[in-house]
Amino acid sequence: MNTSEEIGGQVRAALAGESGDFRPCAFFDVRLDCIRVIVRDCSVLEIRINEALTVLEDSYYQESGKRRYIGFTIKGAAHFCKRNGFDLSAPIDISRLLDAVLANFPGRLAELAVDGIARPLVEDTNIDSVDISGALPQPAY
């Protein structure tokens, strides 16, 4: 049986490598079938805009010069991309993806979220595409 001290030592040893700094990113979460764009590592509050789009707000935002909104999520991403004719085997242009969100979910709130939050985030951080090839069925071996 391991003591808490031994367990702590094992955890520290496992995490001893370089952790690296956070970098803004866009990725496909296969298990939740969503695309996530995150530009800062912090605690977040998720604000649902519509059935597909959620914006991520810094939970502890204070007028400190940092962004209030730090990302967004597109839910049901694989189905959404297939329905809108995106090639899932190649990286998807995020600007085109946001255009598709607006075309499928019109309304002032969606426009504000996409044009006022999502587009500036990806433009300012040079995130131009996301790879969702993980949405493709994997071959059985």
Instruction: Tell me the whole-structure pTM to 2 decimals.
Output: 0.80
Looking at the structure of the chain, the number of domains it has is 1
Give domain status of residue 46, yes or no. Answer: yes
Domain that holds residue 50: 22-127
Does residue 36 lie within any of the structural domains?
Answer: yes
Question: Which pLDDT score, from 0 to 100, does residue 5 have?
Answer: 76
- Predicted confidence at residue 21, as pLDDT, reads 84
Whether 1 maps to a domain, the answer reads no
pLDDT at 139: 56
Asked, for residue 105, whether it belongs to a domain, the answer is yes
Q: What is the pLDDT of residues 103-141, one digit of tens each?
A: 999 999 999 999 999 999 999 999 999 998 876 665 556
Q: What are the C-alpha distances in Å from 72 to residues 5, 35, 55?
A: 39, 8, 4
What pLDDT score was predicted for residue 114?
A: 97
Q: Does residue 136 belong to any structural domain of this protein? A: no
**Residue 140: inside a domain:** no
pLDDT in tens, 60-101: 888 777 789 999 999 999 999 999 999 988 999 999 999 999
pLDDT in tens, 1-37: 567 777 777 767 666 666 678 899 999 999 999 999 9
